[in-house]
A = this chain, B = another copy of it.
Amino acid sequence: MEISNASRAEVLTQALPYIKKYYGTTIVVKYGGNAMTNSELQKAVMSDIVLMSLVGINVVLVHGGGPEISDMLKKTGKESRFVNGMRYTDGETIDIVQMVLAGKVNKDLVKMLCAGGGKAIGLSGLDGGMLFAEKMIMGEDVGFVGEITEVNTGVITDVLDRGYIPVISTVAGGKDGAVYNINADIAAARIAAAMGAKKLILMTDIVGLLKDKDDASTLIPVVNVSDVNSLKTQGIISGGMIPKIDCCVEAVRRGVGRAHIIDGRIPHSILIELFSDEGIGTMFY
């Protein structure tokens, strides 16, 4: 659709109340899924993040990188193995995880943001002692998969104060000297909580929470976190969605204003969420 300059101006004008609403607030975006692997979508997300930063939002970008890790493991002749949805992470694997997340994915995002006019710094949970973790204890050993024990927001705040967009890869240091792989959704939720963020936005590859998972028209746009248990009992929240929604619940319980599951496959889904009344995906409050 060709849009005239007049209409463009009109659209900018209509964004005004939303810009005012988020001015000076902190929003944590968990970036992953298709939005990260598809290069068109990736460009759109980068541009959304820079825009958020320029209109005065303290945006914090937390990213995963599962496919890139699996690729690299394969190149070194190791196979990815998952236990209860968690990557089994032996000593060699955690090295690859750290390398790929903090060295490749993270810095590539930083490069794109800078190229797109943003000021970005790539951080990991190790920088400035941001994230500490201990070994996650489960039925089956999953190796260097960690559970967050401490979130120090000092380094995030310091770089935000100087006008940078912090881009965070979620490996954490252990008091035992080891490095731990942290689930990026959980890390994003904990960082959002520790920052007192107004919003946590999880980019996923689903439309949102659906009453009937095969019918996109049954989207549940708004969920009170106190209704989540009942939705689980009803089987509406199930499968791979459970951990993501648990992150949303945890974030809200720890004081984040709103947590959102949005469809990262739609270009500019973040902007649509932020700059319209109806938003996109499912919001937890």
**Once the chains are docked, how many angstroms separate the CA of A47 from the CA of B15?**
10
A98 at the binding interface (Cβ < 8 Å)? yes
Is A117 in the interface zone, CB < 8 Å from B?
yes
Contacts of A171 in B (CB 8 A): 107
If A20-B117, A119-B128 touch, whether A13 touches B268 (CB-CB below 8 Å) is yes
CB distance from A109 to the nearest CB of B (A): 10
Task: Contacts A3-B11, A12-B51 given; indicate if A104 touches B115 (C-beta within 8 A).
Answer: no
Let me know if A284 is at the binding interface, CB within 8 A.
Answer: no
Which residues of B have CB within 8 Å of A79?
none
* Complexed CA–CA distance, A269 and B9 (Å): 8
For the complex, what is the distance from the CA of A119 to the CA of B13, rounded to whole Å? 17
Please name 21 pairs of A and B residues whose Cβ atoms are closer than 8 Å in the assembled complex, sorted by A.
Answer: A3-B11, A5-B272, A5-B280, A9-B48, A9-B268, A9-B275, A10-B267, A12-B51, A13-B271, A16-B47, A16-B116, A19-B51, A72-B99, A76-B76, A98-B103, A101-B103, A114-B126, A115-B177, A121-B121, A158-B164, A161-B162
Known contacts A5-B276, A13-B47, A23-B54; 17 further A-B pairs (Cβ under 8 A): A8-B15, A8-B272, A9-B272, A12-B268, A12-B275, A13-B48, A19-B51, A20-B54, A72-B76, A98-B103, A100-B103, A102-B102, A110-B127, A114-B126, A121-B155, A122-B122, A158-B164
